[in-house]
Structure 1
Amino acid sequence: MKQQSDAETMGDMTRGSNVAGAGRRSREFPGWLYGILFILFDIAAVAILEVGVSLGASSRVTLSSPDVGWDFVGKMFNVHGPNFVFLLNVLLVGVLYLALLMLFNRFWIATPVLVAAAIVVAVIEHFKISIRYEAILPSDLNFLKADAGNLMGFMPAGAHWTILLAIAVFAVFVGLFVFLNHIDARRGRMFRGSDRQSKSINAIARLLLILVPGLFFGLYAMQVSTVGSWAKSLATAMGDKPSMWDSVYDAQRNGPLVAFMRQVNPKVMDKPSDYSEETMKQVVARYEKAAKQINASRKSSLTDSTVIYVLSESFSDTSRVPGLKVNKDSMPKIRAIKESTTSGLMLSSGYGGGTANLEYMGLTGLSMANFDSSLTSPYQQLVPGEHWTPTINQMWGAAKNSIGLHPYESSMYSRATNYKKFGFSHFYTLTGPDVISHQDRIDDSPYVSDAATYQSTLEEVEKSDSNQFLQVITMQNHMPYHEWYKDNDFTAESTTGEPLGKDEQESIETYQKGQAITDEATADFLDKLDKLDKPVTVVFYGDHLPGIYSSASEDDNNSLALHLTDYFIWSNKASDSQGVKINNAAYSSPNFFVAQAAEHMDAKVSPYLAFLTEMHEKIAAMEPPVVNKIQGWDRIPEGQSIYLDHAGNPMAESDFDEETKQLLADYRLIQYDITDGNNYLKDTDFMSLP
């Protein structure tokens, strides 16, 4: 017994000696050190995500937006107004990091998991941007669910080197974590306690520190895209400035996580209180009856002709800008065309931007006025996640009959993805995969000329034996404007007594010259279409005014005038509708163009087009509240959508008659069903032409 006791004593002494030695080699990290390390690794994860976006962007030649680079961090110290969106990203990643720490209760396990996740996301971001110049979007999660087995097919050339580099970077981090874990006698344990009471308290504390951050993160994700919510207010206060036209620029500028979360749960529109399958059946029946009445006097079909929508970038009449005097007319030929056919002024929701929203309304017949103000870009916030996307080009049947042309980057506003979803067989751009055939520029202009775009369009029309729908989006008159053109004799001056600024005058005069070039090219394009032996109808419209009229825009009373552009609907000699002028065309908005085109062409309509026809008879134009003050605003509730009558006068929704109110209610039902509802209309003939 004594011998055994001596052995045990010797063993205890040995173990004690080893523990003492270990204690000399490693010490428990104090709480403040864990706090510092938490912040450092949180920032590291944010940096890794930003690197994934920045490296992907630098691997592509892009025209649309500048490379933000590490101005993402540097702009916190901007003397003209600091921006703390970097800290917002740190906060959001930190919330996830904290939940991981509490889940594992080991600092040196949770941290590698966070870093590994950041590296994996950064690599995927890099690959997607390299291939498609598009950041990761919430809709990509649907792709993973549906087609995860084909992921390897989307790897860019040289992907293995990126993957190896990512593995090497992670290995370095792992080495660091192993070393820190080795010198930390606490081994990263967050909560400790051996007795039952301590374990219970620790378990409750950990659970709370998982639930509370998780709840914050979830609520932020659900509300950050809703205008007026606490999450949206927080993001805005921290410097989040959405750049919805370019998802890569948005992710660089505001951080990948902030940009991603802003699109997770956008509020599309309020659900109508009477929305149901039975209600939608009543809507269908109502406009089937209207379609029969309209079609009784019409003789042709929309699809008997080729229809070309021309969205002319920033095209508008400079002479209509308040307080501005120009030396000569920059659009005499289009002015003459407008006088000889269906034409008028279009109410635009944009000023200096917002092209894709006007484009969306023209292609769908839906109105931005019906959407919640949180939905600022349907092309990026709505369309990617939609299960049903009816667009007017689909009336022409097979995808081969739908062609899109845009002499710029296919990734802008996620057009390449959306046009495929809309049913276009080809979308010709500068960056492909379908490359537009003509890319000529004028003098020092960086943009493809309208003449070149029209030539590419004409070739598509000529080579097809069937009637088509073509969507054309020009770029020649895109901002900015810097003395691009030689022999420019256009001048502009202020009539307000305050002279134009040097930059404003240069921009206006350069824009005028570009507009004159568009005027010539458009007239020439129509002349060539006139010589074809197939019927063609063109719907031409300017999407918005250029954002160069800083003097005029200072006066809120000019707001409505600065949101009116020019449009016309024209048919060639092979059409029976050349020279037709329809009623109620003086004012319109792009959601009504398809109904107006059908009336211009004496074409039969679907129940949906019958609805749009009746809606346009009551409301000439409609857009969301684009201004804080317009002429007559004292009679119209501030913040309501802009509705114009056929004389161009703003209308108050409260003054609508019962028929108009019913039409507007039906519009909201239709739009909700298509975009955010149960798609009850999908299995009906509501969209079908007779």
Structure 2
Amino acid sequence: MSKTKRSLLLIAYFLILFFVIKINATAIVEWLNKSMFPDYTIDSTQDFHDSFSNGISLIFISTIFLYSILGTAIVSILIIDILMIGLIFANQIKVVERNEFITFSEIKTVASPKELLSFVDVSPAFALVIVCTVILILAGLQFLIIKLSKKLHFYINKWIRVTLLLLSLTFLIMIFIKPNYYNAHLLKFEETHSHNFNPLKRARMDGFLPTFMHTVKPIYMDRPAGYNKVKIKEISQKHSKLSQRINKERDKSLNDSETLLYLSESFMDPKQLPGLLLNESPIPFITQTVKNNIGGSMYSQYIGGGTANLEWSVLTSFSLEVFNEPLVVTPYSDFYADSKNKHTILDFYDKEKVAVHPYTAHLYNRKTVYEKIGFDNFRYLNHGIKHTDKLGNHKRVSDEALNKDILDVMDKNNVGLIHILSMQNHSPYNKKIPEMGYKPEINTNIYPKKKAEGLFNYLQGIHATDNAIKDLVNELGKSNKDVNLLFYGDHYPSVFRGTENQFKGDELHHTPWFIFMNNGRSQEGMQLEDLSPAFFVPLLLKEGNYYVSPYQGLMNTLLTKGVKRIGKDYVVTNEGKLSDNQVPKDLLAMVNDYRIIQYDALFGHNWLADDFYTKVK
């Protein structure tokens, strides 16, 4: 073959190759967008932004990068397609289960394949066989193509591949160093600066890839006005004096008690949804305990997800609502492991701090975070959890079995704090519970009949939770030492996804909580509705008459003034939701102090000294 013919053939080859890659990239972007809609069906009636179909360039460059390394177009395209099919499938599952899309930080969860596979009911062994088979097929195809290319004397010069490698790698590095610039100028993503309460709704207008790229280097929280060293010094002095005044009227240290923080997975009260049930409540004990002790309802932005975020808010007393987009922020995964400030309720205890979770330790970076914030022991499946009985054919460890592990930890003499995350009521809800005395009667005029079986199974599960919590409270009541139990449901279960329009306002965003203190210390305590999880520990300190740190002194004062939730530019009090310009000046000053403290701790210079969070006397 003459040099001229070879050059022309090479040009034709690359033109066809680039055309095929572009068609493939276009199809991938289309299916990624479809994955954000139920059944992969795009709602044509809604508005679409200019960025909706953009992102082809990212797939195109990624394919060229892979091609420059492998040297075979077919295998390169196939690998990209397989990876993107996995992303499309995973995103659809998350959309259906949680009404959320996959973010950049969540790509790390591929390091926990066993846990991810449990959500789609595929065994690790079967998945491993599939992966190995695909790799072998691709490797075999790569070998045959290279061998055929040499036989036909048609293969790409290594210098062309090196050039493609350098160009594609440079573009990819530039994109991920300046993702927001790429997003704004090439993908035409229009960033909004208002609080976004429904990121998936907006993502359906913006397109998957532009929205995904927006999560690569997000601005989690805006720098508050007035954040500087002088202001931090003023805050430190003011709230240190405030905590000293509060502590003069208190006589206990939290370290002298034993506290259980009990997050009940996907726990809600069905009687809070008018007309949903035609018979009695499945949770009579918990309902009565809420009324007779310190209790009420907690505000949760999430349905079917967000557990790690809510537990983080409880442990830190930091609000999720001050973030720009709380529904797509996961502090554990996104920034908290590398944050300079790790002060939590654990600082109040010199005794042993133990976390108990009858599931994996790897999702949401929990194992790393727990170690960094000071847990002395973390019991999880195959590592300290001794009791793994299930409810009937359900997949998750039962709350009754979890009680045994909790009481086993409590039997240790030097335990001060036990952080508990249950799993019993986590999805899926496709298995009935045999020999369950409670049978819910669901009003299918209120709840979709086609989904009623899943809700039926879920309600039987929370009835079992009610029995388990009753047993636990009875055991705690027998203790000779002061024991505190903070119990709360983290969010509504995924069986309520898609029913948001059938219920008013925030009805699907309020879960039960209570604080039980043995020896009659919590009887007829405060009742607070619509409370942020950030205020649970301040309320425990207040109602238990425990000493506070300067930071918790501020939280105590906010509680006393009727503040129940703090957002980016609003506050929720007993008067309802107020924008900042509606809040009295003296209260707004304290709220702004709170925002500055949170920013300083998580994203700022961490100027506040450690004793601002830890000094209690």
Q: Note if contact 1:321-1:552 (Cα within 8 Å) is conserved in structure 2.
A: no
SS of aligned partner of 1:447: coil
- 1:81 is aligned to 2:24: no
Instruction: Measure the CA separation in 2 of the matches of 1:451 and 1:609.
Output: 34
Structure 1 residue corresponding to 2:297, chosen from 329, 342, 345: 345
Change (3 A) 1:35 1:518: same
**Higher mean displacement: 512-521 or 658-667:** 512-521
Structure 1: distance between partners of 2:250 and 2:148: 76
Gap change, CA 1:591 and 1:108, over 3 Å in 2:
closer
**Which residue number in structure 2 is paired with residue 428 of structure 1?**
379
Q: 1:229 pairs with 178, 191, 205, which one?
A: 191
Aligned partner (choices 671, 674, 690) of residue 601 of structure 2: 674
Select the residue among 332, 353, 356 that pairs with 2:308. Answer: 356
Q: Deviations over 1:88-131 (max 9, x none)?
A: 78632533677x79xxxxx968969xx99x99xx99xxxxxxxx
Asked whether 1:220 is paired with 2:220, we answer no
What is the CA-CA distance between 1:361 and the residue it aligns to? 0.7
Q: Deviations over 1:369-394 (max 9, x none)?
A: 11111652222222233233222223
- Please report the TM-score for the alignment, with normalisation by the length of structure 1: 0.67
The residue correspondences of 1:513-552 to structure 2 (distance < 5 A) are 513-549=460-496
* Whole-Å separation in 2 of the counterparts to 1:296 and 1:588: 27
Within a 5 Å distance, the mapping from 1:139-154 to structure 2 comes to none
For residue 418 of structure 1, the aligned residue among 369, 372, 393 is 369
- Aligned position for 1:409: 360
Q: Is the partner of 2:614 in helix, strand or coil?
A: coil
Deviations 1:238-290 (A, max 9, x none): 853xxxxxxxxxxxxx9xx997x665312111111211122111111111011
Report the CA distance between 1:416 and its aligned residue: 2.4
From 481, 486, 510, the equivalent of 2:457 is 510
Structure 1 residue 294: deviation in Å? 0.6
Gaps of 5+ in 1: 1-20, 51-70, 102-106, 124-133, 141-160, 193-205, 241-253, 626-639
The residue that corresponds to 1:320 in the other structure is 272
Give, in whole Å, the separation in 2 of the partners of 1:425 and 1:234: 42
Within-5 A mapping of 1:255-654 = 263-373=215-325, 375-397=328-350, 401-430=352-381, 432=382, 434-462=383-411, 464-482=412-430, 484-486=432-434, 487=436, 489-494=438-443, 498=445, 500-549=447-496, 553-555=500-502, 558-573=504-519, 578-583=521-526, 585-622=528-565, 641=570, 643-646=571-574, 649-654=576-581
SS in 2 for 1:442: coil
Decide whether aligned partners of structure 1 residues 286 and 111 sit closer, same or farther in structure 2, where only a CA change above 3 A counts.
farther
Alpha-carbon shift at residue 525 of structure 1 (Å) = 0.6
Distance in 2 (alpha carbons) for counterparts of 1:412 and 1:191: 38
Letter in 1 for 2:179: Y
- Aligned AA (1:561): E
Verify the 8 A CA contact 2:276 2:447 in the aligned structure 1. no
Aligned length: 553
Question: What is the RMSD computed on CA atoms of the aligned residues?
Answer: 4.9
What is residue 628 of structure 1 aligned with on the other side? none
Q: Do the aligned residues in 2 keep the contact of 1:97 with 1:110 (CA within 8 Å)?
A: no
Query: In the aligned structure 2, how far is the partner of 1:273 from the partner of 1:373?
Result: 19
Relative distance call for 1:316 and 1:171 in structure 2 (3 A) is closer
Q: For 1:679 and 1:370, locate their aligned partners in 2 and report how far apart those are by CA, in whole Å.
A: 18
Shift of 1:466: 1.4
* 1:500 and 1:551 in contact (8 A); partners too: no
Structure 1 residues 527 and 392: CA distance shift in structure 2, 3 A: same
Following the alignment from structure 1 to structure 2, what is the Cα–Cα distance between the partners of residues 470 and 622? 25
Distance change (3 Å), C-alpha of 1:45 and 1:238:
same
Amino acid in the other structure paired with 1:621: K
Q: CA deviation at 1:598?
A: 0.8
- In structure 2, relative to structure 1, the CA distance for the partners of 1:264 and 1:405 (3 Å cut) is same
Alpha-carbon distance in structure 1 between the residues aligned to 2:498 and 2:162:
63
Q: 1:111 to 1:670 in 2, by over 3 A?
A: farther
**3-state DSSP of counterpart to 1:492:** coil
Secondary structure class of the residue paired with 2:261: strand
Q: 1:354 to 1:209 in 2, by over 3 A?
A: closer
Identity value in percent: 26
Once the two structures are superposed, residues 209-236 of structure 1 have per-residue CA deviations (whole angstroms, 9 ceiling, x without a partner) of 9987765554435676999539x99975
Distance in 2, matches of 1:334 and 1:138, equals 34
Residues 286 and 181 of structure 1, relative CA distance in 2, 3 Å threshold: farther
Other structure's SS at 1:680 match:
coil
* Deviation readout 1:32-62 (Å, 9 max, x if unpaired): 421333577899999xxx9xxxxxxxxxxxx
SS at match of 1:456: helix
Structure ranking higher on relative contact order (CA contacts 8 Å, 6+ apart): 2
Larger radius of gyration, structure 1 or 2?
Answer: 1
Q: Output the CA distance in 1 between the equivalents of 2:559 and 2:390.
A: 39
Give the counterpart of 1:660 among 569, 572, 587.
587
What do residues 499-537 of structure 1 show as CA deviations (whole Å, max 9, x unaligned)? 643234333333332222111110111111222333221
Map of 2:127 onto structure 1: none
Q: 1:175 to 1:481 in 2, by over 3 A?
A: closer
CA–CA distance in structure 2, aligned partners of residues 415 and 185 of structure 1 = 47
Match of 1:92 in 2: 58
1:34 aligned residue: 14
CA contact (8 A) 2:299 2:509 kept: yes
The structural deviation recorded for 1:138 is 9.9
| Whole-angstrom CA distance in 2 between matches of 1:335 and 1:138 | 36
Measured at CA, do residues 665 and 73 of structure 1 come closer, stay the same or move farther in structure 2, by a change above 3 Å? closer
Quick one: which amino acid aligns to residue 33 of structure 1? Y
Alpha-carbon distance in 2 for matches of 1:384, 1:216: 25
By how many angstroms is 1:440 displaced?
0.8
Contact 1:43 1:90 in 2 (8 A): no
TM-score (norm 2): 0.74
Distance across 2 between alignment mates of 1:518 and 1:166: 48
Is the Cα contact below 8 Å between 2:294 and 2:514 reproduced in 1? yes
1:527 partner letter: N
The verdict on how the C-alpha distance between 1:446 and 1:77 changes in structure 2, with shifts beyond 3 A counting, is closer
How far residue 367 of structure 1 moved from its aligned partner, in angstroms, is 0.3
Per-residue deviation, 1:606: 0.3
| CA–CA distance in structure 1, aligned partners of residues 150 and 465 of structure 2 | 67
Shift of 1:552: 6.3
CA-CA distance at 1:413 after TM superposition: 2.4
> What's the counterpart of residue 58 of structure 1?
none
Does the CA-based 8 Å contact 1:307-1:469 persist in structure 2? yes
Deviation string 1:461-515 (CA, Å, 9 cap, x unpaired) is 11x22132111111222234345223454333449xx364323433333333222
